[in-house]
Amino acid sequence: MSKEVEEKTEDIGSLCIILHRERSFHNIDIRILKSAIQKYARRAMFFPKGVWCLVELDLFSILEINSELYPKCQLNQKQIQMNSVRIRSNMINRLVAMMSEDVGPCDHQLPHKVYNFYQQWIKNRRTISSRKILVQLYYCLANQNTKRIRLLSDLRTVYNLPEYLTDKKNLHRQLLEKFQMNQLIEIMYDDGCKGKTVSCFI
């Protein structure tokens, strides 16, 4: 390994931006990091675990700003930069989604705060100040004083049923049949039993 390559490797750690093989500065799969920042936000574990994972993911800014640092490979400099941009954009968009999915509508001022930090980060994403903005945004979601309710996520689960369950008219009967509740089916659906109550069958 040449001295030039050694210096570049030291500057970027174990960063890998090849699609589906992305690794962070400390050689962690970025899928693990993305999952971790969400988990630690839910558990109000902002520091040290949550913010460490966030900064580790944001270190792809090294290649977004200076793609020449990446060792020569099958990717050209434009592809290296684009992949770095993609990873960081996905990161900030995930934080915005967490605002509604994991924190919920408890704090009516939170969307305004997150939007402001998001706009600032977009404008300054290639400057040193972008990391401070990113951490401030994450703090809004992950600190211990943040009230949380997963109401929007729960509603989405209930109302976005699979296609085979969209026929609400037959859904209830299908569930009763699944659990072999035959007497209740007779009460609710059979003509000869209409008007009778459950007590008639006990």
More confident: 160 or 108? 108
Which of 9-23, 122-136, 141-155, 167-181 reaches the highest mean pLDDT? Answer: 122-136
* Cβ partners under 8 Å of residue 46, min gap 6: 40, 138, 139, 142, 143, 144
pLDDT confidence band for 197 (50 / 70 / 90): very low
On the question of pLDDT at 2 being above 60, the answer is no
Q: Are 57 and 29 in contact (CB under 8 A)?
A: no
The mean pLDDT of 79-85, rounded to a whole number, is: 96
Higher pLDDT, 148 or 57: 57
Q: Can you give the residue ranges of every domain in the chain?
A: 3-149, 161-201
Is the pTM value of this prediction over 0.85?
no
Torsion of CA 165, 166, 172, 178, to 10 degrees: -10
73-82, 97-106, 180-189 — which is least confidently predicted?
180-189
Q: Encoding tokens for residue 178?
A: 């699944």
Cα distances from 132 to residues 24, 108, 117, 160, in angstroms, run 19, 23, 10, 37
Mean pLDDT of 110-116: 95
Mean pLDDT of the 91-97 span? 96
Is the bond into 48 cis (omega within 30 degrees of 0)? yes
Q: What is the pLDDT of residues 41-71, one digit of tens each?
A: 999 999 999 999 999 999 999 999 999 999 8
* 151 strand-pairing partners: none
Does residue 98 contact residue 14 with C-beta atoms inside 8 Å? no
Instruction: Give the pLDDT band of residue 201 (cuts 50, 70, 90).
Output: very low
Q: Cα–Cα distance between 186 and 44 in angstroms, integer?
A: 50
